[in-house]
Each structure stands twice: as structure tokens, then as C-alpha cells.
Structure 1
Amino acid sequence: MLPEGEKVSEREKTASGVKRCYVSVDGKVALSTSIEWYEADTPIAEIASKTVGAGPEDKVSTDKRYSYSGKGGAGLIRCEDSSQIDKDVDGDLYATVRVGGDDSADAASVLKVIEAYTDAAPAAGECELAL
């Protein structure tokens, strides 16, 4: 999903309980991700609508866990019971992926990335992200 280039770099930023990561190719952001808590049972299409480039034509998986298009996607991260993480957490953790700038990717490729990202997040400790 990344464009061709000479140098790939990564930058992370966490603020107000949202963890963001930016992947740049030759100094231009090519892919960005976020991990964020939302109210429990928020529809995936609503999460995706907050992602730049998402639109009403985005596809939603049959299990309603993912929303995706060639511009990006969103997915529900399967955490263990959130009440075990923090008594004040009553919600679900979501990840978003956005293709940078005016670029676009194959929607099936975006779905593969958001699936892999949401599946890897619990093992990486993302379910313990503070609010």
C-alpha cells in the first residue's frame, strides 16, 4: 500500500487517549493509523465517518466489524473485558487506517491491513491505552 520511494519513516503521537502513527515515504505521509476508545456498540460506519476520506460508499464487512474503501478503513479491536482494564472504561477500542493525501489503494488491500492491525493490537498492549 505504500508508494515507491527512497526513505520510509514512522512517527507516533498520543494525545487525549488517541494513539496515532504516521508512515511517510520520502517525507510525505503515505499512511496514518489511529487507535481510540468509543462508546460501546458504536456502529463501524460511524467510526469510519470520522476518518478523512471515508464516505457512504465504503464497504462494511458482513460481521460489521470492518468498514473500508480505497482511502482507508476502520475496525473493531477485540479486547478482553474492558472492565478489567480500567473501571472507567465502558466502550470499545477501534483502529483506523487512512491512505495519505490524494492517493488511493485497492479496497481489498486496505481491508487486509485493517484486519491485521486490529488482530495484532491486543498482543501489542493497545487494549491498555489510557483514556
Structure 2
Amino acid sequence: MLFRVNRKIATACVLVSILVGCSTDSNKKEYASPEALCEVPVDAGVLSKLLPPGEKIAVQERNPTPHRKRCQVNVDGRVALIASQEWWEDGDGIDVVAHAFPQLKSAQLSGDGTSLHTGTGALRKVEACGRAGYSGYTLFTAIQVYARDVDDSVAVKKLIDDYTDGVVASATCR
């Protein structure tokens, strides 16, 4: 009887070992993180912390309206992150704009009142940007993380700062 139990345990251990040995590492990133989000330079190392494991990455620019420019990052065909530039009417405060981003429900406003962030999203008012054709509007940048099991407020803060600096230096603000 004891021999049968030990044999069943040994067989189960062999089967588990085979299954584990044959499985792929689902936590591996087989792609390189981009160094820019739709031509806006960012730190690829910081961006990588906010992206899920997977095989393929694709970056697409989407402009749903003339006042919104979105850069969508897909991993294995699923939306992982969106970086956006959005012109809102002067007078719309960061608290009003934040309602458009579900990732910011629990965000706290920064001391200077120009940004807020969580582990899955950030929003920043771009003070140093005035562009012809957008008189009466204020630019905001946003990061939205859709990847599962990603929640890193330090990386999100670094990415929104990086992305905003890149936008200010781009043609968007010249």
C-alpha cells in the first residue's frame, strides 16, 4: 500500500516537472521598449516598468479629434498604455480634466496644483506651451496604464515628467 502511494506521488512529481519544463516564461518581455512615444522621446527603462510581459509591441498614433493626440502602446495586440496630449478650454482645471481618466480616481494633487498621479495614471498641466490656433486652450499631458498587474507610481511620475518635457520641446509647443 505504501509503495502505491509513493509511486503515485513520484508520478505526479514527474508530470509536474515535465509541465513546468515545457511551459514558456509568461513573465518575459521579448520586445524592446520604445525610446519614444509617437516621436516624443522618453526613458525606455522607465516605460518598460509600465508594460506587461509579451512577445510583440506596436506603437500607434491616434488622433480622435483635433484637440487630442494619443499614442497607444499595444503588447500582443492588447492596449497596454496610452500617452496623450489634450487641449482643454482655459479655465478647465486639472480636477475637471482628471474626470476624463479613470486611472486617476484616487490621485492626489501635487503641491503646486499642476499634476496628479497614481500607480496607473498621471495628468499634468503644461504651463510652458502656447501654440497658434489654440488660443483659449490649455495643454494637458496624460499617461494611462492598462496593463494588468502594473501599479508603479514612481515610474508613472517619471514617465509623465519625461513625456511632458518632450512635448514642451516638440513642435506641439513651438
* TM bucket, shorter chain: 0.7 to 0.9
What TM-score do the two structures reach when normalised by structure 2? 0.64
Distance 1:97 1:30 in 2: 11
> By how many angstroms is 1:20 displaced?
0.9
1:43-82 → structure 2 map (5 Å cutoff):
43-55=93-105, 57-80=106-129, 82=130
Over aligned residue pairs, what C-alpha RMSD do you find? 1.9
Following TM superposition, where does structure 1 have runs of at least 4 consecutive aligned residues deviating by more than 3 angstroms? 101-104
- Report if the CA contact (8 A) 2:51-2:150 is conserved: no
**Pairwise CA distance, 1:103:** 4.3
Structure with the largest fraction of strand? 1
Structure 1, unpaired ranges of 5+? none
Describe how 1:1-131 pairs up with structure 2 within 5 A.
1-17=50-66, 18-55=68-105, 57-80=106-129, 82=130, 85-86=132-133, 89-100=135-146, 102-127=148-173
Give the count of matched residue pairs: 124
Q: Which has the higher helix share?
A: 2
TM-score of the superposition, structure 1-length normalised? Answer: 0.83
Q: 3-state SS of the aligned residue for 1:62?
A: coil
Shift of 1:32: 0.6
Q: Is the 8 A contact 1:78 1:118 kept in 2?
A: no
Q: Deviations over 1:64-117 (max 9, x none)?
A: 11111112111112334x3x623x521210011100155432112111111111
Greater RCO, 1 or 2 (C-alpha within 8 Å, sep 6+) = 1
- How far 1:15 sits from its partner (Å)? 2.8
Rg comparison, structure with higher value: 2
